Structure 1
Amino acid sequence: MSKVFIVGLPRTGTTSLCKACIDLGFSTAHTAYTVETIVNAEVVADTPVFNDYMLLHRKYPDARFIYLERPLAVWLPSISRLLSRMADNLFSEHGGFNDTIKRCFFNTFQGLTTDKIDDFEFLETCYQQHRRQALHYFQQNKTNYICLDIADADCHDLLCQFLNVPLQHRRMPRLNVTGKSRHGTT
């Protein structure tokens, strides 16, 4: 099978989609900070994929891409809470998060400051710009991709069809709904 990259911004359902891929038997990395992780996993999500999807496509031209969407009314408060929790480590000039996390967040959320963490207009602009750029890239490069919203009733079946696996006729697992991963719940 060709690689699958999940190009969902944080808080769009990457944890849930990764769990679904694991349940379908795919080796899955929810975040990949080393080349070895990307090479060894069949499915890779979150950081750095949401920022580096073009580079990954050049490296893996036969890869498939899943663009995760989430309604803005739900995503905006969720991403704002996440950024608030991340702020100390994200904005630290002496340590904090690793350089990959910082690079991906500051590139995707260009102009992000502590004052903009709660600025829904700024965050919506970042979301829409990311979506527009990613979908334009996929269309222009004739990339094999699908857009999914994990809240849609048919999402799991669409995922199975896209991955060429038998339909499971079940709902997508719902993990990390409140911002803290609760593995084992569906």
Structure 2
Amino acid sequence: MLFKRKNPKIFCIGRNKTGTTSLSKAFVDLGFKLGDQVEAEWLFDDWVKRDFSKLKRYCQNAEVFQDSPFSLPYTFVYLDQIFPNSKFILTVRDSALQWYHSLVRFHAKLWANDGVRPTKDDLKRAFYLYEGFPYDAIKRQFGTPDDDLYCQSTLIKAYEDYNQSVVEYFKYKPDSFLHLNVGKPDSYWKFCAFLNKKPIYDEFPWEQKTEDLKV
């Protein structure tokens, strides 16, 4: 069923593990319709080929979208062109290192023994969408070697480069773009002002669901 409300599309384009679960909770509580995240993640292979045709159709079914493939490089440029007047929110952590440790801890909790960083074998055995998808997702996003899939310098550079590319792209479109750290005290009020919505909290609701993969 196509989503008929006339509000502009809202794309949350911060990398996974930047507070996007709390962001989605805030959107739902304000009455927004979110896209089905698992359905969107099946479009990962299309993203690898930079084929966004299915993504365009998928976006007809809701008004707010986040995480993969919306959080991946190149996607935001296409979305800005194909959905004019849309809004974009880039969520970030306090530092790139904080983001890195959050991602590694999350994946270790899901797929590795004793909380150590997942290995190639761990990720190839892991099941999400299909067996081995977590391995494919890491390799295709970051291109890290099998003996150091979570190479700190590579992942941090990818995070920083991506954020910088987003900020640079939207530099002259301030009405369409919000740079947001959900951990900051005034972040929820900035979020609501950007959406022209009346706040219903003092700060973002805290949400952390390990079962929500979001690699």
Worse-superposed segment, 133-142 or 149-158 = 133-142
- Note the C-alpha offset of 1:161: 0.4
Q: Do residues 174 (structure 1) and 206 (structure 2) align?
A: yes
In 2 relative to 1, CA 102–118 (structure 1 residues): closer, same or farther, beyond 3 Å? closer
Residue 41 (structure 1) aligned with residue 62 (structure 2): yes
Identity %: 26
- Shift of the 143–166 alpha-carbon distance from structure 1 to 2, 3 Å rule, reads closer
Is 1:68 paired with 2:78? no
Distance verdict in 2 for CA 1:114–1:153, change over 3 Å: farther
**Counterpart in 1 of 2:18?**
12
How far apart, in 1, do the equivalents of 2:77 and 2:125 lie?
Answer: 27
Tell me which residue corresponds to 1:21: 27
Structure 2 gaps of 5+ residues are 1-6, 42-53, 112-122
Change (3 A) 1:167 1:95: closer
Q: Deviations over 1:51-107 (max 9, x none)?
A: 2111111110211000000023421111123455573268xxx95339xx957x555
Correspondence 1:80 to 2:116: no
Instruction: State which structure, 1 or 2, has the greater radius of gyration over its C-alpha atoms.
Output: 2
1:14·1:30 contact (CA, 8 Å) conserved in 2? no
Provide the TM-score with structure 1 as the length reference: 0.79
Give unpaired runs (5+ residues) of structure 1: none
User: C-alpha displacement at 1:142, in angstroms?
Assistant: 6.5
- Taking the TM superposition and a 5 Å limit, the aligned residue runs for 1:1-186 are 1-29=7-35, 31=37, 32-33=40-41, 35=55, 36-51=57-72, 52-72=75-95, 73-84=97-108, 85=110, 87-88=123-124, 96-97=132-133, 102=136, 106=139, 109-139=141-171, 144-176=176-208, 180=210
Amino acid in structure 2 at the alignment position of 1:48? P
Count how many residue pairs are aligned between Structure 1 and Structure 2: 173
Amino acid at match of 1:42: E
2:3 is matched with none
1:43–1:102 CA distance, 2 compared to 1 (3 A): farther
